[in-house]
Amino acid sequence: MLALSPISALAQEMAAIFSTEGREDADLTCVELTTGLWPEGLFHVPMALEAAIRACLATSGHPCAAAIEAAIPMTPWGTNPVADRMLDKEAAMIAVATLLDPEGPMVSPRFRAGLLFQRSGTYYRLHNHDAVETYAIVAGSADWIAGDDRRIRRVGDVIHHPSRMPHAFRAGIGGFVAIWRWSGDINSHSYTFLPDPEAA
């Protein structure tokens, strides 16, 4: 039996987490992650937060954290896809790697999924969007606001945001790495930052 490539092994680990949600859209996302074809020549571009991402991953014993670390050489980490709606200092605190998306690298017209890193102590202000969203923390921790629920989220925690639910998060010491997925109406134009007294 052939060994999986690091990026395929990462997709398997992500699917193992999303499959625990018990939601049809999560199960369908898992199918696309684990049966789709990754493009040839997918590669990683070195970026400013790479050392911080690696340091955060090194603190975690979660198997998905190890899979993310192994796949870094072929993972398309970059800026937040909505960085044009953020202040420069906000855009610099986040790194995102989109893996499943209508534009690729693994093409899906129905779902988006990927990875997120947020720097130590930074606050990602209140926002919402049409898409249904799930996050799972695989390294580090965050003070997480999801609607009226606020609590510290740690490795292994899975957070679900229904469509249009306001949410925000402050990274703990060392930052955090999470996997995420979108389903439902996955348009990006509805992504809106909301009034937030904590961001002042």
Whether residue 32 contacts residue 18, with contact meaning beta carbons closer than 8 Å, is answered with: no
Q: Give the residues across from 139 on adjacent strands.
A: 177
Stretches in the chain below the pLDDT threshold 50: 1
Whether residue 43 contacts residue 117, with contact meaning beta carbons closer than 8 Å, is answered with: no
pLDDT at residue 40, as a whole number: 65
What pTM was estimated for this model as a whole? 0.95
Whether residue 192 contacts residue 129, with contact meaning beta carbons closer than 8 Å, is answered with: yes
pLDDT at residue 43, as a whole number: 64
Q: Give the residues across from 168 on adjacent strands.
A: 145
pLDDT at residue 57, as a whole number: 98
